[in-house]
Amino acid sequence: MSSNSNNIDWSFYKKNGFTPLVNVSGTMTSIGASIMIKDAQKAMGSISPYFIKMHELQSKASMVISELTGAESGFITASAGAGITLSIAAVMTGKNPGLIERLPNTSGLKNEVVVQSGHLCNYGGTVDQAVRLSGAKVVSFGQSTQVQDHQLYDAINENTVAGLFVVSHHVVEYGQMSFDCFCKICQEKGVAVIVDAASEYDLRTFINNGADIVIYSSHKFLGGPTAGIVAGRSDLIQAGYMQNIGIGRVMKVGKESIYGAIAALQAWKVRDHTAIRNKETNALKLWERIATSFDGVQADVVDDSTHNPLSRLKISINKEIFKSSAASVAIALSLCKIPIIVRDHEIELGYFYLDPCNLADGHAELVSSNLKNVLQNALKKPLSEVNLDKHRNSSIQGYLDWK
């Protein structure tokens, strides 16, 4: 552990009996998503002592969402996943209270949602289940690695109520239909377009280019509390908000999270994005110097796959030369005195990523020193092999082991 780690206040973890960690994985819900910005912290504390009319609070949220996204209106819900469910429900029921109360019974309603096969990903939960929770049916089209226009045309019929487009590093990255093409065909067929853009920086592109509803996460790049931000056409947003008298009740969001999300959105307007990017770039350069000093270890700065203004360090390890695998290095980093959690979604391919978007002061240096120590130790004695099948199931095992 570097001397820099001594300047970091770890007392919160010790006082509460939690495991300290440094996140270079990204905005992952499983480790708390992001470090909440001070504006959001302050807003949540400031509203907590007061009663408030929730419709008024959501109306304020709607105005701020409209300003930031260019949408006609918006509301806050429990999460981006909840936003998917409520948006699908909205296009099925409209503002009819009787139909809203009847969900998830969708008999007699248009209830099919078309989604590219390569977009039916797992983000901690699954996209198809988020749709099915509303009572709708998922109709996938295309193959996982190739989608053609005729397949969407063929999938749309008299029961189709919406098309869902997912923007995520979890989806298949090639052979997919572009958003513009997806939107054009859906509009031609009179089908509402819903976009899951939970982790996206750009709050305007999808609305500007024809989406009817777009869903963002408050607790990722915005640095707000856990919440979903739903923006779009006024009639559909009203219908989505009305789901709170039905299935949305179990997805309700508190006044603190609504007000915190508002603050995070307002702070986004004035955030010094250039300064943040410069800080991230410095961290990447620091890590790159360490990694490339070892034979068999390659380090490449790569751009974000969904075109966010963010780069990550891809560390590839040639096991034949280095004698330890990328998976074993990633595990070793997670077992440091202060665990370093890397981005390891594709670890079986021989690489992992270091993501700089959630670093507190001193974290970049701590990652650097631990990376150097782990790689040096691996040179002295090759690291234990990792059972990749066991690792693949580790997220489920965490739930099974919890008590």
Per-residue model confidence as pLDDT tens digits over 74-110: 999 999 999 999 999 999 999 999 999 999 999 999 9
Domain count, the chain: 2
> Given 245, 270, 295, which residue is the final one in a domain?
270
β-bridge partners, 165: 195
Whether residue 301 is found in the same domain as residue 389:
yes
Whether residue 261 is found in the same domain as residue 278:
no
Whether residue 354 is found in the same domain as residue 227:
no
Q: How many residues does the chain have?
A: 403
Whether residue 255 is found in the same domain as residue 331:
no
> Given 242, 270, 298, which residue is the final one in a domain?
270
Range of the domain at 168: 38-270
Whether residue 24 is found in the same domain as residue 91:
no
What's the CATH code of the domain at 176? 3.40.640.10
Whether residue 215 is found in the same domain as residue 257:
yes
Task: Collapse the DSSP code of 294 into the 3-class scheme (helix H, G, I; strand E, B; otherwise coil) and give the result.
Answer: coil
- 370 with 340: CB under 8 angstroms? yes
Take residue 26 and report the two structure tokens written for it. 């990204």
pLDDT at 7: 54
* Omega of the bond leading into 104 within 30 degrees of 0 (cis): yes
Amino acid at site 61: A
- pLDDT average per 10 residues of sequence, the chain (403 residues): 53 91 88 90 97 98 97 97 97 98 96 95 88 97 95 98 92 91 97 94 94 96 95 98 97 97 96 91 96 95 87 95 95 94 92 92 94 95 90 84 86
Whether residue 234 is found in the same domain as residue 302:
no
Whether residue 260 is found in the same domain as residue 377:
no
- 261 with 73: CB under 8 angstroms? no
Whether residue 263 is found in the same domain as residue 285:
no
Return phi, psi of residue 307, to 5°. 70, 20
Whether residue 178 is found in the same domain as residue 224:
yes
pLDDT at 388: 87
pLDDT at 89: 98
Residues 309, 54: Cα–Cα separation, whole Å: 35
Residues 214, 198: Cα–Cα separation, whole Å: 9
What's the CATH code of the domain at 291? 3.90.1150.180
Residues 345, 352: Cα–Cα separation, whole Å: 7
Return phi, psi of residue 225, to 5°. -75, 165
180's enclosing H/E stretch is helix 179-188
β-bridge partners, 193: 163
pTM comes to 0.91
Return phi, psi of residue 123, to 5°. -115, 20
First to last CA, the chain: 31
Residues 17, 34: Cα–Cα separation, whole Å: 20
Per-residue model confidence as pLDDT tens digits over 34-79: 889 999 999 999 999 999 999 999 999 999 999 999 999 999 999 9
Farthest CA pair distance, the chain: 69
Whether residue 62 is found in the same domain as residue 163:
yes
Residues 353, 299: Cα–Cα separation, whole Å: 9
pLDDT at 77: 98
Helix and strand tally (H, E) in the chain? 17, 12
> Given 247, 270, 293, which residue is the final one in a domain?
270
Residues 340, 19: Cα–Cα separation, whole Å: 11
Whether residue 82 is found in the same domain as residue 157:
yes
pLDDT at 2: 36
pLDDT at 172: 85
